[in-house]
Structure 1
Amino acid sequence: MAKVTISLDAELVVEVMVLAGVGNPQDAVELVVRDHIQRGHRTEARVAARDEVLREVDGKPRDIEG
């Protein structure tokens, strides 16, 4: 996998290390980024499932009240 080097504020990285419980800055930031990506995928999956249910409801014939 290709690597990218970036500069971050030291206080930000230290806070990430504390919250992640990791002593290595690289590992801490990588964990946070991976968690963010996974959370996004879970959200997308929930939204897709909800949209599918709504499509099924909209696709059913409606009873006409008269």
Structure 2
Amino acid sequence: MAKIDISLDAELVVEVMVLAGIGSPQDAVEAVVRDYIARGHRTETRTESKDRGLRDVDAKPQEPQG
């Protein structure tokens, strides 16, 4: 996997390290990024199921009204 170097505010990284309980700045930031991506995938999965259910309801022919 390709690697990149970025600059972050030291206080931000230290706070991530403390909250995550990880001693390495690199590992702490990587854990946060991986968690963010995983959370996005879980959200997509949940909303996809909901959207699919709504589409199924919309696809059914409706009874004439009036």
Fold in common (TM above 0.5): yes
TM-score normalised to structure 1 length? 0.91
Q: Which runs of 5+ in 2 are unaligned?
A: none
Aligned sequence identity (%): 70
Aligned to 1:39: 39
Runs of 4+ in 1 over 3 A off after TM superposition: none
Structure 2 residue identity aligned to 1:44 = E
CA apart distance, 1:60: 1.3
TM-score normalised to structure 2 length? 0.91
Structure 2 residue identity aligned to 1:8 = L
Aligned to 1:14: 14
CA apart distance, 1:65: 5.2
Deviations 1:4-55 (A, max 9, x none): 0111111000000011110000000000000000001111111111110000
Structure 2 residue identity aligned to 1:29 = V
Alpha-carbon separation, structure 2, partners of 1:59 and 1:21 = 49
Total equivalences in the alignment? 66
SS of 1:46's equivalent in the other structure is helix
Structure 2 residue identity aligned to 1:3 = K
SS of 2:29's equivalent in the other structure is helix
CA-based RMSD of the aligned residues comes to: 1.1
Q: Which runs of 5+ in 1 are unaligned?
A: none
Aligned to 2:29: 29
